[in-house]
Amino acid sequence: MAAPGSIIGFVGTGVMGRSMAGHLLDAGYRLRVHNRTREKAAPLVDRGAVWCETPGQAAEGAAAVITIVGYPADVEQVYLGSDGLVAASAPGTVLIDMTTSSPVLAQRVHAAGAAVGVPVLDAPVSGGDVGAREARLTIMVGGDPAAFASVEPLLRVMGPNVVLQGGPGAGQHTKMSNQISIAGAMIGACEALAYAEAAGLDPEKVLTSITAGSANSWSLANYAPRMLAGDFAPGFYVKHFIKDMRIALECSREMAIDLPGLELALRLYERLAERGGADSGTQALYLLYKEHAARL
């Protein structure tokens, strides 16, 4: 059981990971941290976390190791590389990948861990930078029920909505459903604001009305004010959202289902990235509507 006081490895201390790891320190866990850019882990080290040069070092003595990195290729390297977590972890250590990644890769990493007695959970999150800072992430988990039960209290430190969705890969499939929904909601938020402005309305007053009714969504309530304020700083990167949508479309094709709304969202975000927006937050989609509405 990964109880407070246990050693927890944490790999990936970027926009979301740093806040998530900070909550674990607040809860009394002892952290061993690794990040490709050491400076991003410095605030955690200053608070008592132990810096590790490799992901494998972060697993030393750990009851569980959490990862939240960028892309499936990063997940593969961190888990299955020569100095990766599967090889470095002691039997019984629970590995928890909170990256949004490929369901197929999640199943492969789970099988590699099972072969050496190391359970692996896929546990992607939703809630963005705000949810990470405020410890109210939604956490979608796939994997072995016993392994999940042993780390559920640890996960609940980072968010109250923690659900075991099924076996290996089920967490990632659930996150794909989440991203498909967000893709449509972000288009809806941008188009609602663009329409309001074209009609000569005060878009902030419009938001006051429509976020109080059935049109409201998390994206509209949280991202639309940033759009209007010209705040396109990343809570969740455009480049990472593109990665997620591509994974979802690949999975949908394998399941022989058509998702035309998702295909449209991906085209728009790819256009935004081509124009220099890859490192912006996903709310920067609004810039296409502001600057190039006639060509959409």
What does the domain layout of the chain look like in residue ranges? 7-166, 174-295
pLDDT of res. 276: 96
Mean pLDDT score, 148-161: 97
- CB atoms under 10 Å from CB of 86, counted, come to 22
pLDDT of res. 3: 82
Distance CA 193, CA 198 (A): 9
pLDDT of res. 292: 57
Instruction: Tell whether the model's pLDDT for residue 253 goes beyond 60.
Output: yes
Alpha helices in the chain (DSSP H): 17-26, 42-46, 55-58, 72-80, 85-88, 103-115, 128-133, 145-156, 170-198, 203-210, 218-229, 238-254, 260-272, 286-292
Q: Which of 22-31, 127-136, 286-295 has the lowest mean pLDDT?
A: 286-295
Question: CATH assignment of 174-295?
Answer: 1.10.1040.10
Instruction: Tell whether the model's pLDDT for residue 273 goes beyond 90.
Output: yes
Question: Same fold for the domain at 7-166 and the one at 174-295?
Answer: no
Q: Which of 2-16, 25-39, 46-60, 262-276 has the lowest mean pLDDT?
A: 2-16
Express each pLDDT in 48-91 by its tens digit.
999 999 999 999 999 999 999 989 999 999 999 988 999 999 99
Tokens 């989609």 found at: 285
Provide the percentage of residues in the chain whose pLDDT is more than 90: 91
Q: Please confirm, yes or no, whether 239 is among the known catalytic residues.
A: no
Which band of pLDDT confidence, cut at 50, 70 and 90, is reported for residue 15?
Answer: confident
Give φ, ψ of 192 to 5 degrees.
-65, -45
Name the active-site residue from 40, 175, 239, 290: 175
Distances in Å between the Cα of 249 and the Cα atoms of 95, 100, 109, 245 are 27, 14, 21, 6
pLDDT of res. 119: 98
Express each pLDDT in 28-39 by its tens digit.
999 999 999 999
221, amino acid identity:
A
Tell me what the pLDDT averaged over the chain comes to.
95
Provide the percentage of residues in the chain whose pLDDT is more than 70: 98
CATH superfamily name and code, 7-166: NAD(P)-binding Rossmann-like Domain (3.40.50.720)
